[in-house]
Amino acid sequence: MSFFDKVKASVGKDSAELEVDMQARPSKRGESLRALVHVRPGKNKQKMRYLRISLEYTGHFQVPSKDGGVINVEGTGRIWYGDWPNTTDVMIEPGGTYSYPIEFRIPSDSPLSHDKLKYKFFVRADIDDAKDPEFATNFDIRE
């Protein structure tokens, strides 16, 4: 990749794109979030270091105490966070589409959404010498 191509990619021009097809958005505990993540390269061959996925809830929630009470928490609970399998150091070629099916089940003991607690699904492709494309969506678990 030429110097000029690297400069353009660093600001997002002619670089990789991320598209997420949300196939199932959960609204209840025990339901699954299903998505198909597509990484499309830019005009030049690029290296995807990883595809980072996060499924979390943020806000005020409680966890049971072994003493019989509850512990009030303000923060983030992660259902899953990390680099998706088979996405490390992948060379992405122009004209190709790299697709990754994602599925997570919302645990039956996850907290319910309310005005101070929201769920978030986040995806980021780490692309060498380029602006990293991202996707995020929020959703509620109501029962």
* pLDDT of 8 strictly over 90: no
Q: Which residue has the tokens 């830019």?
A: 42
Domain range list for the chain: 3-139
Q: Identify the pLDDT of residue 15.
A: 83
Mean pLDDT value across residues 21-45: 95
Which class is 3-139 in CATH? mainly beta
Mean pLDDT value across residues 31-43: 95
Please give the sequence-ordered ranges of beta strands (E in DSSP) within the chain, or none if there are none.
17-24, 32-40, 46-64, 70-83, 90-92, 98-105, 117-127, 134-139
Rounded CA-CA distance 75/58 in Å is: 6
Residues 85-101: pLDDT tens digits?
999 999 999 999 999 99
Among 131, 103, 111, which Cα is nearest to 28's?
111
pTM, to two decimals: 0.84
